[in-house]
Structure 1
Amino acid sequence: MSSTVHCQSTDCPNGHPPSKLECPTCHKLGIKGSFFCGQDCFKAGFHENLRTFNPQKVHKLIHELASKPSSSNGSGASNIFKDGTYNPFSTFQFTGDIRPRYPLSSKRRVPEHIPRPDYAETGIPTSENKKAGQPPRILTPEEIEKMRIVCRLTREVLDIAASHIKPGITTDYLDEVVHNACIERNAYPSPLNYNHFPKSVCTSVNEVVCHGIPDQYKLQEGDIINIDVSLYYDGFHGDLNETYPVGRVDEDSKKLMRAAHESLHDVIKICKPGVLIRDIGKVIEPIARAAGCSVVRTYTGHGINDLFHGAPTNVPHYAKNKAIGTMKAGMCFTIEPMLNLGNHWDTLHWPDNWTATTIDGKRSAQFEETLLITETGVEILTAGKFRDDLYR
């Protein structure tokens, strides 16, 4: 990675050139990531990712946090870390040890020649909103072949990202790896600007259940991390995630990951035309309970095709749900059970409006595949080689 400092403004009109203009207050306080190519960038673009605030007010808020290094974030930890990163949510009561590590890197660019979904510029998935409430699509043979291709690419990108996992790398680095791998395949990273999500992949560490935003957090020996990769290619989306150990992990983490993986692939075995969507949870929940885990109810699987999230919009992973619908040949959807250690399935959201964590700080694991219902059964479009040695 380059050691040159580039303009950190998300909306830099000059293409993020090498920059030496640094906020003097940030420099004095030891806050990294405050370089801009000019006064206009500095005034207009600093930390757009905290979009509920005016950018200039956010910058002043950061100065206030840094000026009070002894203040608590709810668990006795400082808001400013030794490496110059900071926790922007100083009064939030976190449930575990993971903290956001800002500043976020600038929004990564997608070359103009790469086709993109309708939300890429606006942040609003207009097509999804217009088609809400419609029945699940039955794909044509041509569309099914496009789904096979994008899902194969999605698997390639996830495997590349997973190969970089080791203690000391940041989740932002994994985002860079995923983003570049997508671009190399002339694909758009589906999460980027979806409902204003700021990154190209979701990275969820330890107690983070899902939708973790890649930042400056450095992976540590004993962590577990879920990487959720989605691609948009030739008009269709693929979606896939897996949870990985970082070095050696404890036995509870291994048990959790094994149960999450087993529950997904055991339920895939029952998928075929005529099976009720609500029966998916009947298979998953007993496996989770036997491992001392609970099944998250806040998030479900979903239909996927030319829409990132489409019908069926509700594919629950827990038993005794009331999901409507049956599996039909030509349908594509995801199954992605999230299991938490212990008895609590509830989730708590950070103030970034995305990151969901367990309510007791215990770990969570998830696995996901994109599936096609065929005339005789099911095809795992995102299938890969399972490495059992990771969870022994």
Structure 2
Amino acid sequence: MIYLKTDDEIELMRESNLLVGMTLGEIAKWIIPGITTLKLDKIAEEFIRDHNAIPGFLGYGGFPNSLCISVNEQVVHGIPSNYELREGDVVSVDCGVIKNGFNGDSAYTFCVGDVTDEIRRLLKTTKESLYLGIEQAVEGKRIGDISHTIQMYCEHKGYSVVRELCGHGIGKRLHEDPEVPNYGRRGCGPLLKKGMCIAIEPMINLGSRNIIVERDGWTTRTRDRKPSAHFEHTVAIREEKADILSSFQFVEEVLGDKSI
């Protein structure tokens, strides 16, 4: 069932999602060679709780941490650990919070120090595809319009689109209907209506689209072990233009001219 949110509920969701953006901005300050992904997780959990919210991922379906941190060939759902980030790594940080009874959800893929031009192009394309998909997220269009736009843009650039994982509706629950794939046909899928809130999250691979799930039951990586990128925003459907509830502003203020 798809739940339509009132304007008041959307404003509560904006609070949750802006806190996610602020948390990602705080994490951006710490992403340097030598820091462990578990340390980043602890920083995020403390930051979220200090802002009168709770981590949305911690304990969700049994997930053991507050952030999903996925490095290099890991696509999503990486479990924070004692792995120390290295120069040239790329790391997707996916963050969720619950505040005022509503979920926020957003993700950003960071460069650790200097990365190759090939990888920067992957990240840039993935981020661009997110915003192109968001342009389709208006009342009267369909989920497939978002999906098709993301797929065509990334495949035209020579990348592959992960198909087993997708975006989702969001609200009082982290994952609600409808699913939001990153591939599909224009004009197909559920009709977009004012008040729908969805998380759009392209997961794009440098090599093959094939993925596997590691033995921990969470960490998902590319089968060919080539890098993957992941960017995510939560948006509310409006009549003329999508309302982006999350924000990369806090990340980009930290990164400055090093932003993707």
TM-score calculated relative to the size of structure 2: 0.94
- AA at the equivalent of 1:218: E
1:281 pairs with one of 147, 159, 165: 147
- AA at the equivalent of 1:353: G
Separation in structure 2 between the aligned mates of residue 382 and residue 152 of structure 1, nearest angstrom:
5
- Secondary structure of the residue aligned to 1:161 is helix
Q: 1:281: Cα distance to partner?
A: 2.0
Asked if 2 retains the 8 angstrom alpha-carbon contact of 1:244 and 1:390, the reply is: no
1:336 to 2:201 alignment: yes
Separation in structure 1 between the aligned mates of residue 58 and residue 107 of structure 2, nearest angstrom:
16
Q: 1:251: Cα distance to partner?
A: 1.3
Matches within 5 A, 1:1-392: 134=1, 136-312=2-178, 314-320=179-185, 324-342=189-207, 344-385=208-249, 386=252, 389-390=257-258
Between Structure 1 and Structure 2, how many residues are aligned?
256
TM-score calculated relative to the size of structure 1: 0.63
- AA at the equivalent of 1:389: D
Shift of the 256–378 alpha-carbon distance from structure 1 to 2, 3 Å rule, reads same
Q: 1:294: Cα distance to partner?
A: 0.3
Cα deviations by residue, 1:54-76 (Å, 9 ceiling, x for unpaired): xxxxxxxxxxxxxxxxxxxxxxx
Bigger Rg, structure 1 or 2: 1
Separation in structure 2 between the aligned mates of residue 391 and residue 241 of structure 1, nearest angstrom:
14
Q: 1:375: Cα distance to partner?
A: 3.0
- Secondary structure of the residue aligned to 1:230 is strand
Separation in structure 1 between the aligned mates of residue 237 and residue 135 of structure 2, nearest angstrom:
11
More strand by share: 2
Q: 1:391: Cα distance to partner?
A: 5.8
Q: 215-224 or 381-390, which moves further after superposition?
A: 381-390
Separation in structure 1 between the aligned mates of residue 183 and residue 146 of structure 2, nearest angstrom:
8
- Secondary structure of the residue aligned to 1:152 is helix
Q: 1:319: Cα distance to partner?
A: 3.0
Asked if 2 retains the 8 angstrom alpha-carbon contact of 1:371 and 1:379, the reply is: yes
- AA at the equivalent of 1:363: P
Q: 1:383: Cα distance to partner?
A: 2.3
- AA at the equivalent of 1:378: A
Asked if 2 retains the 8 angstrom alpha-carbon contact of 1:258 and 1:391, the reply is: no
Q: 1:282: Cα distance to partner?
A: 1.6
Structure 2 residue ranges without an equivalent (≥5): none
Q: 234-243 or 291-300, which moves further after superposition?
A: 291-300
Structure 1 residue ranges without an equivalent (≥5): 1-133
Asked if 2 retains the 8 angstrom alpha-carbon contact of 1:255 and 1:291, the reply is: no
Asked if 2 retains the 8 angstrom alpha-carbon contact of 1:316 and 1:323, the reply is: no
Separation in structure 1 between the aligned mates of residue 40 and residue 187 of structure 2, nearest angstrom:
37
Shift of the 186–388 alpha-carbon distance from structure 1 to 2, 3 Å rule, reads closer
Asked if 2 retains the 8 angstrom alpha-carbon contact of 1:190 and 1:308, the reply is: yes
Asked if 1 retains the 8 angstrom alpha-carbon contact of 2:105 and 2:233, the reply is: yes
Shift of the 324–285 alpha-carbon distance from structure 1 to 2, 3 Å rule, reads closer
Q: 1:349: Cα distance to partner?
A: 0.8
Which protein, 1 or 2, shows the higher relative CO under an 8 Å CA cutoff with sep ≥ 6?
Answer: 2
Separation in structure 1 between the aligned mates of residue 194 and residue 237 of structure 2, nearest angstrom:
5
Separation in structure 2 between the aligned mates of residue 293 and residue 321 of structure 1, nearest angstrom:
20
Q: 1:296: Cα distance to partner?
A: 0.5
Shift of the 323–351 alpha-carbon distance from structure 1 to 2, 3 Å rule, reads farther
Q: RMSD between aligned alpha carbons? A: 1.6
